[in-house]
Amino acid sequence: MFKINIVNALIFFIIWIVFMIFNTSKLTSESGKIFTPEDMWNIKRVGSPSVSPDGNLIAFTLTQWDIKTNKSTTNIYLYNLTNSELRQFTQGNSDNSPIWSPDGKFIAFTSKRNGETPQLYIIPVDGGEARQVTKLPVGVLTPKWFPDGSKIAFTSNILPEYKGDFEKLEKMIKEKKESKLSAKVTENRIYRYWDRWLTDGFYPRLFSVDIKSEKVVDLMPDINKFFPLFGGADYDISPDGKQIAITLNSTEPPYNDLNYDIYLLDADGSGKISNISSENIGNDFNPRFSKDGKRILYGRQLRPDFYADNIKPIIYDFATKKITEVAPDIDLSFEELQWSLDGNSIYFHAEDRAVRSLFSIQINGKNLKEIIRGGNTGAAKIASNNRLVFVNDNLTNPPELYIIDINGKNLKQLTFFNKELISGIKFGKVENVIYKGANDADIQMYIVYPPDFDEKKKYPLMLMIHGGPHGIFGDAFHFRWNAQLFAAPGYIVAFPNFHGSTSFGLDFALSIHGEHPTKPFIDVMKATDYLISLGFVDEKRIAAAGGSYGGYLVCWIAGHTDRYACLINHAGVYNLMQQFGSDITTYRDKAYGGTPWDGIEIMQKWNPAMFASNFVTPMLIIHGEKDYRVPVNHALEVYGVYKGKGIEARLVYYPDENHWILTPQNSIYWYNEVYDWLERFLKK
């Protein structure tokens, strides 16, 4: 009996070993674990740095997600550049937007630690409890200290009828929440944005609060103008604290279009305001006062009909009331503008050939310098000893804080929050290539190979198509379309930056305006040819996938070729007619070449829905109900067409997501649906 048990135990042990080897092979490669969606959601996310007045302390946020609860926790951390000490500074679960007092003794931040809406708190840097400064019925956002340290500015969304009475506002908000009336009524052309309606009467306002008395003052009484819908409040306080430069929409209801201008607002609560950029029909934003308060630096776009128009730096002089364009001949889009300490130069970020770099340039337009190139840089701030601290990530590394001298030397990584997690993962090799596309133009493309890639073998290929169309698949660690996650199961993944992509010059981006599909389609076809020519792609096992405009091109591909084994369409435009129910309908005549009432023949020429008779390739269709940029009926219509034709199709519908899938469990499910679809058609 004993011998039989030993034999049975040995058999069981051998079976268990085989089972573990088989299953472990799915999860590990030669020297690390294969990257999973769960791993991605366990990555700690570093926020933008805020530097102390002396330049030696950096405050920033760190966000961590809990997959089980679908909730995140955000706290403030401090990094000391003098001794390299890193410490967690707050212990709440929703502490955001840290800003330093002018004397460097306090940090103000917003938090939901005592309620449903974020309020303003102040905490001593040297230790002590945080004090809640505001107790409002609306959320407090984007705080900034006044230069004398006596007040803090912030923004909130209010109902204008409250007339400065927050008790009345609280009652009005409660009545709205408890009302059984659900109708939304408008005569505006722009009446909703992204995933929210603009019809409920709320407008953003700028406020100030005295940090001692806690008295709140409405700085924009009777001013009902939208802040930039695409980025929120965008303002700066003058060195003397008397004026605020702020970006506001200048058009009046009914809103046929939104045009953002730079306004000067008196900070005394009088509501006195003036527009200093009204002559420009394009958008103006990102105002920043010079240190002496005599000038304002801001960004300007000239074309209202082209959202990806280059942003150029402008300097407004208070004495002459004239503007100067700093770099009219430089073919870059200047983002996150800021003055140098001496006021003679500008620091900025810009996309350039599929990376996002940090640059400097003198205000006379000379001596353009790329301070740091590689990956995706952002949120640069001036630190002590002529250095810049910033956030950087790339296709194989999540965001962390770095610092560099303004001359581009002595680059140093400051934080390593994800080192342990990332060090245990085997990522695929990344390659940056150039191939010939439409009109024999050079097209840049990133290739991400599967872990343990063997060039002697044949692999399935996943061809990715970015959205926009005026954007890029850059050298960035994407938390929604992560390149390494797509490569992890054993796929070669390619990201061509086709005609229309930004970072390759304004003319290249404009080259598809009015004819969206033709050149990008050719570029994608030639990318496929190029990849096959390398010798390690199985041309019978290729998929094409894209989101938004990428989904549009996937639908166009479905009607114009059968070379792909399957397609993936996330939040894609299928029927151009439906885009006149989008949140933004202005200037679509320029993008599409026509409208349903004028030039419909041209518009329909570029409409994927007109080529449904050619559909044969299986398609996975994914969409969110709250997607107002590309309304959900696009997905339902193309799915109905596929099913009507008897072609293999699968619909994944999210009732609580928008244009993006933003919550952990939904995102993980999204990746698993994509994996299952690819395995179904590429691993036969």
Q: Mean pLDDT throughout 335-344?
A: 96
Q: How many C-beta atoms lie closer than 10 Å to residue 99's C-beta?
A: 18
- Give 6's pLDDT tier (boundaries 50, 70, 90): very low
Residue 504's φ and ψ, nearest 5 degrees, are -120, 25
Q: Which residues pair with 495 in a beta bridge?
A: 446
Q: Mean pLDDT throughout 365-385?
A: 96
**The CATH number of domain 428-682, selected from 3.60.21.10, 3.40.50.1820, 3.30.420.40, 3.40.190.10:** 3.40.50.1820
- Give 250's pLDDT tier (boundaries 50, 70, 90): very high
What pLDDT is attached to residue 684?
64
Length of the chain: 684
Residue in 657, 668, 612, 659 with CA at minimum distance from that of residue 639? 612
Contact (Cβ atoms closer than 8 angstroms) between residue 591 and residue 603: no
> E strands within 146-259?
151-158, 192-193, 196-197, 203-210, 216-218, 235-237, 243-249
Alpha carbons 568 and 570: distance in angstroms, whole number: 6
Per DSSP, the chain holds a count of helices (H) and strands (E) of: 12, 41
Alpha carbons 659 and 550: distance in angstroms, whole number: 13
Amino acid identity of residue 146, one-letter, is F
Alpha carbons 10 and 4: distance in angstroms, whole number: 10
Task: Read off the pTM.
Answer: 0.93
Residue 604's φ and ψ, nearest 5 degrees, are -65, -20
Q: For Cα atoms 676, 677, 678, give the angle at the middle one, nearest 5 degrees.
A: 95
What pLDDT is attached to residue 3?
40
What pLDDT is attached to residue 589?
94
Alpha carbons 566 and 649: distance in angstroms, whole number: 10
What pLDDT is attached to residue 40?
97
Q: How many C-beta atoms lie closer than 10 Å to residue 449's C-beta?
A: 20
For the chain, give every domain's residue range: 428-682
- Supply 462's token pair: 């996943």
Q: Mean pLDDT throughout 628-643?
A: 98
Q: Which residues pair with 312 in a beta bridge?
A: 300
Where do we find the tokens 């917003």? 110
Give yes or no for residue 28 having a pLDDT over 50: no
Give yes or no for residue 626 having a pLDDT over 90: yes
pLDDT of 458-470, one tens digit each? 999 999 999 999 9
| Parallel/antiparallel/unpaired status of strands 235-237 and 243-249 | antiparallel
What pLDDT is attached to residue 31?
58
Counting beta carbons within 10 angstroms of the beta carbon of residue 267, is it exposed (0 to 12), middle (13 to 18) or buried (19 or more)?
A: buried
- Give 344's pLDDT tier (boundaries 50, 70, 90): very high
pLDDT of 411-445, one tens digit each? 999 999 999 999 999 999 999 999 999 999 999 99
Q: For Cα atoms 237, 238, 242, give the angle at the middle one, nearest 5 degrees.
A: 95
Q: Mean pLDDT throughout 323-334?
A: 96
Alpha carbons 465 and 472: distance in angstroms, whole number: 9
DSSP state of 424: T
Cα distance between the two ends of the chain: 47
Give yes or no for residue 12 having a pLDDT over 90: no
Give yes or no for residue 185 having a pLDDT over 60: yes
Give yes or no for residue 23 having a pLDDT over 90: no
